[in-house]
Structure 1
Amino acid sequence: MDLHALWYVLAALMVVVGLAGIVLPALPGLPLVFAGMLLAAWTDGFERVEWWWLLVLGVLTALSLLIDFWATAAGAKRVGASRKAVVGAVLGTVVGLFIVPPFGLFVGPFAGALLGELWHGRAMNSASVSQATRVGFGTWMGIVFGIVLKLGLACTMFVLFAWAWYA
């Protein structure tokens, strides 16, 4: 296998792992997709994908990082989540990776936000459990909304890269 083919395989692998990272919080999703596209363009000597295409892809990647923070915070804020609930959602997502994947990715953020909100309230009564459940669901919805937005950005990046590559 020649060196160029090896670089292309590595670029494709980076893109695939990056796609997984859109859903899995431990991996840098779209930044890894961008890095794979950049590597492919570099391997080609930037003949097919010029620098300005990469600039556009880089801006979309930066936008994905903002979406990550915004979507979770917006979902949590909308239902009045405490800071502990947001931290719980993040920790629940990470723990969910290891508990019955992929099911844990859906239950983990909700359970983490719920437990974080209960910890914040420190009182176990029906009102606090009801509020914690609302917070858990709202935070989870924010995370899901962020994933959907990032998948949309990934599709846009693929279309732009393919257009630049084949045009």
Structure 2
Amino acid sequence: MDILLWSLAVILVIAGVVGTVLPALPGTALVFAGLLLGAWIDGFTAVGAITIAVLGLLTVLAWVAEYVAGMLGAKRAGAGRLALLGAAIGTVLGVFTGLWGLIFMPLAGAAIGEYLEMRDIARAGHVGVSTWIGIMLGTAVKIAITFAMIGIFVAALIF
């Protein structure tokens, strides 16, 4: 039974790592679920409550960083409501258009949304790039936190 549960834990972690770059999956939440399952399988002996609490806080921090970074990039550029909506739509459409779509559709969505709102192509380009930079930085932070979570868990198991 332990092999089946550990397999499920590993699958959750792998799906979570994939989810750190695919917005359709709740990446860090899946990683946390897999790590929590792993700690539970061991009876919380190697990975205790404090480690689980730290992993939970990192999960929340990753989620906040993802959304705040994109919004800060947009806000810094003075993005309007339609630019934010466009970035969100672009992110969702990017999931269905492959890696390049996933990377560049939020930029295009933000730029199109800003253009529709302000009718200024230079401003739309600036807002699109700023929003995209924020989203990419947020994703990088989320990926770093996700791997830190895995490292903390493995260290707790080993030591």
Give TM-score, length-normalised by structure 2.
Answer: 0.96
1:166 corresponds in structure 2 to 158
Determine whether 1:142 maps to 2:140.
no
Determine whether 1:91 maps to 2:83.
no
CA–CA distance in structure 1, aligned partners of residues 77 and 95 of structure 2:
25
Determine whether 1:118 maps to 2:115.
yes
Determine whether 1:67 maps to 2:65.
yes
RMSD, aligned α-carbons: 0.9
Q: Larger C-alpha radius of gyration, 1 or 2?
A: 1
Give the drift of 1:81.
0.6
SS where residue 20 of structure 2 aligns? Answer: helix
CA–CA distance in structure 2, aligned partners of residues 109 and 86 of structure 1:
9
Counting aligned pairs with the same residue, the percent is 43
Alignment of structure 1 residues 1-167 onto 2, 5 Å: 3-99=1-97, 101-121=98-118, 123=119, 128-167=120-159
Quick one: which amino acid aligns to residue 145 of structure 2? L
Give the drift of 1:35.
0.6
The gaps in structure 2 that reach 5 residues or longer are none
Paired positions, count: 159
Give TM-score, length-normalised by structure 1.
Answer: 0.92
> Deviations for 1:5-64, whole angstroms, at most 9, x for unmatched residues?
111111111111111111111111111100100011111111211111000100111111
Give the drift of 1:113.
0.4
Structure 1 runs of 4+ off > 3 angstroms?
A: none
